[in-house]
Amino acid sequence: DTGVSQNPRHKITKRGQNVTFRCDPISEHNRLYWYRQTLGQGPEFLTYFQNEAQLEKSRLLSDRFSAERPKGSFSTLEIQRTEQGDSAMYLCASSVNRQGARGGYTFGSGTRLTVV
Amino acid sequence: KQEVTQIPAALSVPEGENLVLNCSFTDSAIYNLQWFRQDPGKGLTSLLLIQSSQREQTSGRLNASLDKSSGRSTLYIAASQPGDSATYLCAVKAQGGSEKLVFGKGTKLTVNP
């Protein structure tokens, strides 16, 4: 297992189109997170899954955004009717919740979305 | 609402210098604090994680300290190298069950050969 994998690495889309990103976490990690990062800013939390359950959502996650994690493995983040303000790097991270675990995150390399 | 501030926003140093990056947070009720490194256009690499009950963590040339009561953390980098050039981000996780990390905007470090 080489870490958290995100696909695609880059996505250019026209305004109004729908896009979907995929994240494959480290296999033994039961927690998965999505963050969004714009230029010059730190990442902002979007949502968090423990196994297949979506337990926390940010107010940043508007009705146009939806995330799933079927079967508690990979996750998808879909943005409907994209807007130019959605242009950002979308980062996925995973961690493990068990006795003795440090609680640190492993981030993927991100998907850079450009809406034109 | 937790706010995380990192000073300076950018730092340029000659190779070999020891340096300190600063992070402050407004709400001291944190569960842990992490320091990350981010290379241009890439994801984040976790460097050090300090639990709220700890005062410092060390990994190689890196040492992070935490003063929860004053809302401050520092990342000390010894004998800096050009390969240390990156943006360093500080993030806190609150007590109370939320899994959200709140990040600062980062310090962009350039180490000149």
In order along its 113 residues, chain B shows pLDDT tens digits of 899 999 999 999 999 999 999 999 999 999 999 999 999 888 899 999 999 999 999 999 999 999 999 999 999 999 999 999 999 999 999 998 788 999 999 999 999 99
Residue-level pLDDT at B106: 97
Q: Which amino acid is at B14?
A: P
Residue with tokens 């950002």: A88
* B110 residue type, one letter: T
CB of A115 within 8 A of CB of A84? Answer: yes
Q: At A101, is the pLDDT very low, low, confident or very high (cuts 50, 70, 90)?
A: low
Distance, in Å, from the CA atom of B62 to the CA atom of B78, rounded to the nearest integer, reads 7
User: Can you name the residues that pair with B12 across neighbouring β-strands?
Assistant: B110
Please say whether the beta carbons of A53 and A46 come within 8 A.
no
* Tens-digit pLDDT profile for residues A44-86: 999 999 999 999 999 888 899 999 999 889 999 999 999 999 9
B34–A105 CB contact, under 8 Å: yes
Q: At A99, is the pLDDT very low, low, confident or very high (cuts 50, 70, 90)? A: low
Q: Residue A7 has which token pair? A: 């696909």
pLDDT at A6 over 80: yes
Q: Which of A42, A45, A108 sits opposite B43 (nearest CB)?
A: A108
Q: Does A102 touch chain B (CB under 8 A)?
A: yes
Report the mean per-residue pLDDT for chain A: 91
Rounded alpha-carbon distances, angstroms, from residue B80 to B21, B29, B107, B111 = 12, 32, 15, 7
**Residues paired with B50 in a beta bridge:** B33
B74 near B88, Cβ under 8 Å? Answer: no
b vs e for A38-54, b when ≥16 Cβ sit within 10 Å of the residue's Cβ? eeeebbbbbbbbbeeeb
What pLDDT is attached to residue B29? 92
Q: Give the residue on B whose Cα is nearest the Cα of A54.
A: B99
Is there a contact between A106 and B98 if contact means CB atoms under 8 Å apart?
A: no
Return the amino acid letter for B29.
A
Nearest to B92 by CA among B37, B36, B44, B31: B31
Q: How confident is the model at residue A28 (pLDDT cuts 50, 70, 90)?
A: confident
| H-run or E-run covering B5 | strand B4-7
Is A106 close to B46, i.e. CB distance below 8 A?
yes
| CA distance linking residue A74 with residue A21, whole number of Å | 11
Model confidence at A110: pLDDT above 80: yes
At residue A98, the pLDDT reads: 59
Give the gyration radius of chain A's Cα atoms.
14
Pick from A105, A106, A114 the residue to mutate for testing the B interface (most B CBs within 10 Å): A105
Cβ <8 Å between B43 and A91: yes
**Is some CB atom of chain B closer than 8 A to the CB atom of A43?**
yes
- Please name the member of B43, B100, B102 whose beta carbon is closest to the beta carbon of A110: B43
Decide which of B105 and A100 is more confident: B105
| A109 touches B: beta carbon within 8 Å | yes
Q: Is B2 on the interface with A (CB under 8 A)?
A: no
Looking at the predicted structure, is the pLDDT value of residue A1 above 60?
no
Sole residue written with tokens 């109370």: B96
pLDDT at A72: 84
Query: Which of B6, B32, B44, B49 to mutate: most A Cβ within 10 Å?
Result: B44
- Mean pLDDT within A14-43: 95
Q: How many residues does chain A have?
A: 116
**Three-state DSSP state, B26:** coil
Q: Does B107 touch chain A (CB under 8 A)?
A: no
